[in-house]
Amino acid sequence: MSFADFPEQEQVVQLLQRSLEQNRLAHGYLFAGSDLAELEAMAQTLAKALNCQAPPRRGSGGLSLDSCDQCLSCRKINEQNHPDILALRAESKSRIISVDQVRDLMQTVNLKPTFAEYKVAIIVAADRLNAQAANAFLKTLEEPPAKSILILLSTEPQRVLETILSRCLRLNFAGERKVSEAELAWLSSFADAAANSKGGLLGRYRLLSVIMKTLVEKKEQIDKHLTEQSPLERYDDLDPKLREKYEDELSAAIEAEYRHQRADLLLNLQHLLRDVWLQTMTVGETLSNFPQMAAVTKQIAQRISPVEARQNLEVFEQTQRLLRGNIQEALALEVGLLKLKL
């Protein structure tokens, strides 16, 4: 990918290219937005621009303003095996970035680049740094090595330590995550099932079954996709310690991506419940998240009061908070769905 592949992030791209043009890059960046994959793609694109061996054009400051996406350096970054482009993400099922991980990363950052001009360290989901890890990272952020760029990515920047935020140039990515046609189709079928369940206990267990089946499918797809991309699939003769490290990273990456996609699915369901709430107050058509489902949400809204609809939103928000912890997924969803007034 190149900067041209981010048409919706024109302001972010212009700022980065202007900094490259003037050779006035910040040592630390915070990329904040709603799509973690997009944030990581932009961070990798900046890393490619900084280290491209055949850039399409250069700025007056000598740095390239984009990448060719074809040279050895660009290909290595795309394949995530460039020795000077480092990515750090949670390695445990608790989805916490530990102080040991940060120390290992910072030790590598402080070494001279292998063959790149700039070392780039990308911290994926920086809001997952625990207190010790954040403080350890802060020391490097205050005195970064020369020719190094530290990029933090977060969909919840409010959870990042304030002292870290104050030392980073924050770039806010425009737009909310788009709901795909497949997601809309699934959401529409779920809404139809909810409307036809008539609020009964059996109906809500059927809805739970629909959600759990979808989540199982998502987990299987994520597992397959990330396993295919893992170095474990590309190299057969790995050192046992390195293999163990890659296995831990793969397991954590699968869990993190699954939780991210689960959160997206539940957020869409919450927006659907909000539409129902608006319908109970007869303002659904003007403020609806999903106007194409207005007939179905109205059908549900006719069975409940505005107070009950508002309580549904509170129940669902509580369910999502529980799922951010280590509570059993099926239990949290079952309790949440049984409390809903549908």
Task: Give per-residue pLDDT as tens, 170-204.
Answer: 998 876 556 788 889 999 999 998 888 766 788 88
Alpha carbon distance 208, 51 (integer Å): 49
- Ranges under pLDDT 50 in the chain: 284
Neighbours of 268 (CB within 10 A): 19
Instruction: Determine the residue type at 73.
Output: S
Asked if 174 and 8 count as a contact pair (C-beta separation under 8 A), the reply is yes
Directed axis angle between helix 240-280 and helix 306-323, to 10°? 170
Residue 219 neighbours by CB under 8 Å, 6+ apart: 254, 258
> Which DSSP category does 145 fall into?
P
From 21, 76, 37, 29, select the one nearest 53 (Cα to Cα): 76
Asked if 147 and 118 count as a contact pair (C-beta separation under 8 A), the reply is yes
Provide the sign of the torsion angle of the four alpha carbons 311, 312, 313, 316, taken in this order.
positive
Q: Which two tokens stand for residue 257?
A: 């991506």
pLDDT at position 283 is 54
Alpha carbon distance 255, 250 (integer Å): 9
User: What is the biggest distance separating any 2 CA atoms in the chain, rounded to whole angstroms?
Assistant: 68
Instruction: Provide the whole-model pTM.
Output: 0.62
Q: How far is CA 141 from the centre of its chain?
A: 23
**3-state secondary structure at position 147:** coil
DSSP string for residues in 160-216: S-HHHHTTSEEEEPPSPPPPPHHHHHHHHHHHHHHHHHTT-HHHHHHHHHHHHHHHH
Alpha carbon distance 322, 304 (integer Å): 25
pLDDT at position 284 is 46
- Please state, rounded to an integer, the average pLDDT across all residues of the chain: 87
pLDDT at position 63 is 79
| 237: exposed, middle or buried (Cβ count in 10 Å: 0-12, 13-18, 19+) | exposed
Asked if 129 and 112 count as a contact pair (C-beta separation under 8 A), the reply is no
Alpha carbon distance 255, 216 (integer Å): 12
| 278: exposed, middle or buried (Cβ count in 10 Å: 0-12, 13-18, 19+) | buried
With the CA atoms of 17, 78, 173 and 214 taken in that order, what torsion angle do they form, in degrees rounded to the nearest 10?
A: 170
Alpha carbon distance 30, 13 (integer Å): 14
Asked if 317 and 310 count as a contact pair (C-beta separation under 8 A), the reply is no
Architecture per CATH, 3-172: 3-Layer(aba) Sandwich (3.40)
Sheet containing strand 85-88, edge to edge, reads: 85-88, 119-123, 148-154, 28-32, 169-172
> Which DSSP category does 313 fall into?
H
Question: Looking at the chain, which residues constitute the CATH 3.40.50.300 domain(s)?
Answer: 3-172
pLDDT at position 174 is 79
**3-state secondary structure at position 123:** strand
